[in-house]
Amino acid sequence: MVYGTIRKELILYLLVGLTGMALDAGCFYLLRTWGWGVLLANTVARHLGALSTFWGNRVFTFTRGDGNGGKSVAHEAVMYLLLLYASMAVSTLLLWLLIDILALSRHLVVQTMAKIGVDGLCALANFAVCKWVIFKKTRMSSSLT
């Protein structure tokens, strides 16, 4: 039963994440067409994507029988935002190490594949943090589901 629950949550997590990624990319494109700079457009778009994934994961992926598991929405949102920043830092550091320090490749396709791999590993780590820390079920709520 635990394996089935984790598998279901992982699938929902990936679907919510893909939706957030699409929103992120769409907002980035729109903001760039309006003349926004790359850094500002990416920062705003990333936060809008993160807001949508926070809501989607809170409502759909990690639903709990007792509502919010005793935590306020603000508390969960702050923890989620900290996870976003930590994940971005780890992803950027690993890409810098792979591409600039270890000189993985000068080809953009290989660098992009490295980014996909690094971000995939970060997404798995983020799933674990979301499941067992940010949206953790309380003992009472886990006995209800």
The tens digit of pLDDT for each residue in 49-87 reads 999 999 999 999 988 655 555 678 999 999 999 999 999
Which has the closest alpha carbon to 55: 118, 25, 12?
12
Q: Please report how many Cα atoms fall inside a 13 Å half-sphere around the Cα of residue 48, on the Cβ side.
A: 16
Cα–Cα distance, 45 to 28 (Å, whole number): 5
The answer, yes or no, to whether residue 118 has pLDDT greater than 60, is: yes
pLDDT for 136 equals 86
pLDDT for 67 equals 56
Type of residue found at 50: A
Cα–Cα distance, 109 to 3 (Å, whole number): 35
What are the boundaries of each domain within the chain? 1-61, 70-145
Q: Is 71 helix (H, G, I), strand (E, B) or coil?
A: coil
pLDDT class of 11 with cuts at 50, 70, 90:
very high
